[in-house]
Amino acid sequence: MTQSARVGDWRRPGEEDDIVALSGSNILQPASGWFQRWSDVKNRLVAGSEPVFVGRFNDRDLFVVEVVSEDLRSEDQPIPLREALLSRPDAPAALIGTAVQIQHWWQDHRFCGRCGDQTIYHAVERTRWCENCEISWHARLAPCVIVVVRRDGRFLLARSSRTRRHYFSLIAGFVEPGESAEEAVRREVMEETGLSVINIRYQASQPWPFPHQLMLGYFADYDAGELILQEDELADADWFEPGNLPPVPPSTTIAGRLISAMESEIMTGRAAK
């Protein structure tokens, strides 16, 4: 790491560059497409906010900004981020999700967590740099596990007590320091349901920008114990059979995809018998 970083060394948007314009928990969709131009948003930024370079896509630079929510133009359509990312097939969901994570990290690290000085652009890397401490504040990623627990021909679905969403989903939680992802699976299932699991097997992952999780999806088999719910985490949980499920998350989420994959695994196993 050198001390070559200076404010403004990093890329700045040009008038016609593409901009992901966020406003609170919404993305501002312009009259067409999903990106604004810098000239459309540059005078409407939240105080203290600045354009942050996301990357180069389709030979164009993409930036993210936060726009003052009272300052919407008539053509701006505020779309909730969850809707844009999960239920709008026309949205470039991966790019928007990346932009959201970068924006949160950038705004949350304007000051050094060690000495309190203002951090600045780094000349080379996407990081916020404290000249005083000579340390970088990289984008935060929080690994989380999410798991389908199988018991013979059924599997466990649970309803969170923390959200008002009506659907059933999977057991999930943050990986803690010093823990492997598999240990986190074992611990989370035990803490939330009182069950022990075996045969923990990795399936797939998904970035989850609410605000900066990386979801690691697993299957596991029931080993022992009876369902005893941790009430501040789960409102309800039960074993369900493929083809006879309560409302579950959409297939744009890793939870939805893991549930479908487990249904297929069980049905295929049945067909093979």
- Binding segment for Zn ion (CB under 5 A), chosen from 83-91, 130-138, 163-171, 189-197, is 130-138
The amino acid that residue 115 corresponds to is C
Is residue 120 involved in binding Zn ion (CB under 5 A)? no
Smallest separation (angstroms) from Zn ion to the CB of 143? 26
Is residue 130 involved in binding Zn ion (CB under 5 A)? yes
What residue number has its CB nearest to Zn ion?
112
155 token code pair: 């599997």
Is residue 112 involved in binding Zn ion (CB under 5 A)? yes
Which strands, in side-by-side order, build the sheet including 128-130? Answer: 120-121, 128-130, 135-137
Nearest to 17 by CA among 47, 48, 57, 68: 57
Smallest separation (angstroms) from Zn ion to the CB of 134? 8
110 three-state secondary structure? coil
How buried is 228 (Cβ within 10 angstroms: 0-12 exposed, 13-18 middle, 19+ buried)? Answer: exposed
Considering the complex, state which of residue 121 and residue 168 has its C-beta at the smaller distance from Zn ion.
121
Considering the complex, state which of residue 133 and residue 190 has its C-beta at the smaller distance from Zn ion.
133
CA distance 29 to 41: 12
CA distance 115 to 34: 39
Between 160 and 199, how does the x/- string for binding to Zn ion read (CB under 5 A)? ----------------------------------------
Is residue 131 involved in binding Zn ion (CB under 5 A)? no
How wide is the angle at C-alpha 118 spanned by C-alphas 113 and 121, nearest 5°?
105
| Residue from 25, 87, 118, 132 binding Zn ion (CB under 5 A) | 132
Smallest separation (angstroms) from Zn ion to the CB of 131? 8
CB count within 10 Å of CB 37 equals 16
Q: Total binding residues for Zn ion by CB under 5 A?
A: 7
Measured in degrees and rounded to the nearest 5, phi and psi for residue 96 equal -65, -45
Smallest separation (angstroms) from Zn ion to the CB of 113? 8
CA distance 129 to 121: 6
Smallest separation (angstroms) from Zn ion to the CB of 110? 12
| Residue from 1, 7, 94, 115 binding Zn ion (CB under 5 A) | 115
Considering the complex, state which of residue 56 and residue 114 has its C-beta at the smaller distance from Zn ion.
114
Longest distance between any two alpha carbons in the chain, whole Å: 67
| Residue from 68, 133, 214, 267 binding Zn ion (CB under 5 A) | 133
Nearest to 34 by CA among 82, 103, 86, 93: 93
- Binding segment for Zn ion (CB under 5 A), chosen from 9-17, 104-112, 183-191, 222-230, is 104-112
Footprint of Zn ion (CB under 5 A): 112, 114-115, 117, 130, 132-133
